[in-house]
Every structure is written in structure tokens, then in C-alpha cells.
Structure 1
Amino acid sequence: MNVQPKLTVVGAGPGDVELITLKAINVLKEADVVLYDALVNSELLSYVNPEAELIFVGKRRGCYRYQQEQINELIVARGHTHGHVVRLKGGDPFIFGRGAEEMEYAAANGMQVAVVPGISSSLAVPAYQNIPLTKRGSAESFWVITGTTKEHQLSGDVALAAKSNATVVILMGMGKLSQIISLFKQEGKQELPVAIIQNGTTPQEKIGVGTVDTIESVVQEQKLSNPAIIVLGEVVKHRAQLEKIQEEVVVKDVV
């Protein structure tokens, strides 16, 4: 039987099992091989074709199981020997997920390629904490920026974003938090609200809320660390505003 090599890059969503798409589940059921990352909820593997090969290729505790070049080669090798390879990635594979790179490599090596978008953590994690990235009167746009570039430096876009009135969402930025905060202080935004959400949409979720001036102390007090998302902007206030409204409604009902 001729094997038809194919790669489908699939977004697993931000962590909550129910935030994967129906299309993604259907693709997992058809897979011959699944390569999955550390941020993928392991419960999702129960949807995989029971005859498929499962290969963990993620990063844990600062140790890479596979380098990106090895993952690319593994995709092609398994595609030509097994058929349909599914690359399962946390969040959305086209938002700092290197899904585009893997598809280009696979296509250049004779594989059909497809993508199933996922719900990005940059949107879903703040939403789960009642933080809208846009809100009339508070923010008309938002930036989603990687905290660490290919050269392991802070993205220059953070400095540009700090000058705007947009909501700023920074992924993979905890190691550069001091630099990020410094850029916003240079723009006179010491009182700008900030939220840091760790392990968003999972049972282990933690959140710290403060301002540009106070957030580093909040991080130390609450022992927040990666994986976490940094949200800077007036929209962070919506969370407390909503809680206040809910409390007032409860008080009225009691009275």
C-alpha cells in the first residue's frame, strides 16, 4: 500500500480540554502519528487514534527533548513511513508556535500540509479571568508580542507598544519582566493596570494583579512564574469592575 505523507498542524487550545475544536478532535482520530508539546493537555491524547504512534517532543524544566531541526526531520521521516502526521501544539500553531516553519519544511520534502487553528492563549487566558482585550472607552486595539525573540532578546515591539493606548499581551515574557516594566515606566505609565496569569484555563491557574509600579512585588509575593501571560492595559480594570457589579447585585437581592 502506498503511503500518502501528510502533515496537519493542529492547535490544542490554551489548556482547558474543552477549548479544543471539533475539527481538531476529528483530525486526531485520523492520525497515524502524533507529535505533541509540553503545553498540550495530556487528556487530549485520549482522542487520538488508538493505533497511532505518540511522540512527546516538548520542552520541560528547561530541557529540550528535541531541537526544532530534529522535529522537522522527524515529521518528514514519519510522514513517509507512516502517512498522516499530526503536530499537536498548545494554543494556536500560527501564533508563536512555529507551525508555519514546520509546514514549509514538510512541503519542501514532498508532504501535503494543512492546519487546524486553535484558540490562542493570548485571547483565552485573559478572557477566563474576565479581562477583555478590547473594550469601548478603554482599548481600541491590542498587541500580542513574544517576550523573547529568536536571539533570546526582548522584542523591540514592546517599546513601541508601550507608547500606544492599546492593550499589550506578552507571551513568554516572565524572564524579561523587569525590562518590560522599565519600558512602560519610561512612558510615564506607572499606574497602568497589569495582570499576570499563570497556567491559564487550567485547575492550576493563578493570577496576580497590580500596576506597572507594583507588579514585580506582586509576582514575588504570589510566586508567579512561567508558563504565564502578561497583560498591560486599562482593560485589566474590567475584572474588578465586574466583581463589584456582581457583589452589588447580591447585596440588593439579600436586602
Structure 2
Amino acid sequence: MTVMSAPRCTLVGAGPGDPELLTLKAVKAIANATLLLVDDLVNDAVLAHASPQARIIHVGKRGGCQSTPQAFINKMMIHAVQEGEQVVRLKGGDPFIFGRGGEEVEHLRAAGIEVEVVNGITAGLAGLSSLGAPLTHRQHAHGVVMVTGHAQPGDIGTDWVQLATTARQAKLTLVIYMGVSSLAHISHGLLQGLPAHTPVAVVQHASLPTQREALTTLGELAQTVQREQLQSPSIIVVGDVVQGARAWAALPKRSQKAA
């Protein structure tokens, strides 16, 4: 006799884009789902692991585009579990790193629903790794700060001057998500606390065949992104660890001075 699992919801991180970066646990959860609610940045190849009988609903959420309201997604998850579905909420990157996973877990638990979270590789790690550089280094970076460049309406957002000052004093790498649209403001603030020659990497579509990247300095960041026409979704990494990128040595000497 087949024993059916109790209805539940699993938040699954699909990783930065490359389907081969899925964890084994993520593959198992996707295969067992009867309903998948899929974010916009999830690679379609990931869905090859889903059961042919599973229902797949795309609930895209991307900055600057029309998005499925979060409240509607919450209601869909709760209703589906209460109807006996095995629900997988499939998210790009990691559910708990700027993926609204915390909000969704709160809503599900408040409805008395069991929740499991399967972590995925976040784009902030995959992006710089794809260039052959680490986020931490005993000589260059004692820690990492992952921060959003997108403030909520009514929120003053990150104090970039203070963050830059702290990063310089504590030798921290800054990984900025969703920062391209506010790049001028972010760069201006960071330059109040970090030198203009601070190395920066910008990686668009991390881990995908369409990946594009640029290595530059903080003082030339805005101009570089505009010149190279880099767009969202992109990760911006600020700090001396960027010098570990394979192509850093090929930069013009003026871009590397004092780095």
C-alpha cells in the first residue's frame, strides 16, 4: 500500500540559473510536487525534473515588470495545501536571500501549514565565483555583506555612506542585489567611505550562457555599466576580493592603481 505524504509546502531555491547547480534535495522536492509555483528568474530547464502530472503555474516577480501580487501567491499556496496538494514554491537563487521566503514562511505557518525550505546557490556567490574570485579571503575580506539596492516604498533604504565606512574599516566584501536601477545613488554613497580605486565586478545573468560581466573600479562603476549596457538582473560585488578574478590582471593600469 502506498503511503501518501501529508500536504505541505516546500520553498525551493532553484539557484542562479544553471540547472546543474540544483541540489539533490531540490530535485527530489520538485519531482514530488503536484503543484509548482514558479518565479520569473527560474530556468525552464529546472522544470524538467517535475512530474508530468504536476501543475505548473508561473507567478513572475521581477523589478520593473508587472508582477503577481505577493498576497495572491500566499493565498494560492495556502489554498493548494489545504486542498491536499504537495506544493513547491520555486524561487531563483535562495528563498531566504532577497527571495521573500521569510514572508511566505510566516504566512504559511500562521495558517497552520508545515513548511520546509531547501536552500539554493545565491547569485551573489555564483556571480563572482564564475569569474574565479572568492567572496572572502584571509588577506582581503574578513566577511561579506549581502544588501539590496532596491528600497521599499516609504523606506529610506540603505545608508550607503555608513555601509562603505564599515566595509573599509572591517575589510568586508559588499554584494549588492537589485542595484542597477539605483546605481548612481549607490555609487555616490559608497564613494564617501571607500576609495575610488576599490575593485568592482558586475555580473549579469550569473551562471547562464547569456552571462555578461565587467570588471572596473568604484569610481568608474556607473560609467562602465552604462558603456557595457549591463542590466538587471545583475549582481554588483565591491571589494578587494575582485582582484582575484581571472581577467583582473588584463585591466588597464589606471583602473588597477593602488588596488
When the two chains are superposed, the root-mean-square deviation of aligned CA atoms in Å is 2.1
Report the count of equivalent residues. Answer: 244
Alignment partner, residue 101 of structure 1: 103
Q: Do 1:34 and 1:88's aligned partners in 2 also have CA atoms closer than 8 Å?
A: yes
- Equivalent residue for 2:29? 27
Higher alpha-carbon deviation: 66-75 or 187-196: 187-196
Q: How does 1:134-213 map to 2 (within 5 A)?
A: 134-151=136-153, 155-163=157-165, 164=167, 165-213=171-219
The separation in 1 between residues aligned to 2:155 and 2:176, in whole angstroms, is: 13
Partner of 1:225: 231
Deviation of 1:109 (Å): 1.5
Residue 39 of structure 1 is aligned with which of 41, 47, 67?
41
Q: Secondary structure at the match of 2:202?
A: strand
Q: Which moved more, 1:233-242 or 1:73-82?
A: 233-242
Worse overlay, 51-60 or 200-209 = 51-60
Equivalent residues of 2:13, 2:121 under 8 A apart = yes
Does the CA-based 8 Å contact 1:162-1:187 persist in structure 2? Answer: yes
C-alpha distance in 2, partners of 1:242/1:176? 25
Amino acid at match of 1:175: S
The answer on whether the counterparts of 2:178 and 2:235 sit within 8 Å (CA) in structure 1 is yes
Alignment of 1:83-122 (within 5 A): 83-122=85-124
Could you tell me how far 1:128 is from its partner in structure 2? 0.9
8 Å Cα contact 2:204/2:230 also seen in 1: yes
Equivalent residue of 2:213, what SS?
Answer: strand
Q: Deviations 1:71-96 (Å, cap 9, x if unpaired)? A: 00010111112421100001110011
- Report the identity percentage: 39
1:188-210 Cα distance to aligned partner (Å, 9 max, x none): 51111111110110001001111
Task: Give 5+ residue unaligned stretches, structure 2.
Answer: 251-259
Q: Determine if contact 2:133/2:246 at 8 Å carries over to the other structure.
A: no
1:10-59: CA deviations, max 9, x gaps? Answer: 01011111111000000111101000101111100010111111000013
SS of the aligned residue for 2:109 comes to: helix
Q: Does 1:81 align with 2:79?
A: no
Q: Give the unaligned 5+ runs of structure 1.
A: 245-255
Tell me the alpha carbon deviations over residues 179-234 of structure 1, each in whole angstroms, 9 at most, x when there is no partner: 11111221251111111110110001001111111121111111001000001111
**In 2, are the aligned partners of 1:192 and 1:233 still within 8 Å (CA)?**
yes
Select between 102-111 and 204-213 the one with higher mean Cα deviation: 102-111
Letter in 1 for 2:95: P
Name the CA shift for 1:188/1:167 in 2 (closer, same or farther; >3 Å): closer
- Residue in structure 2 matched with residue 5 of structure 1 by the alignment: 7
What SS does the corresponding residue of 2:215 show, helix, strand or coil?
Answer: strand
Distance verdict in 2 for CA 1:153–1:159, change over 3 Å: farther
C-alpha distance 41-241 of structure 1, shift in aligned 2 (>3 A): closer
Q: How far apart, CA to CA, are the structure 1 residues paired with 2:197 and 2:248?
A: 20
CA contact (8 A) 1:196 1:208 kept: yes
- Distance in 2, matches of 1:58 and 1:133, equals 29
Match runs of 1:114-133 below 5 Å: 114-133=116-135
Quick check: 1:20–1:118 contact (8 Å CA) kept in 2?
A: yes
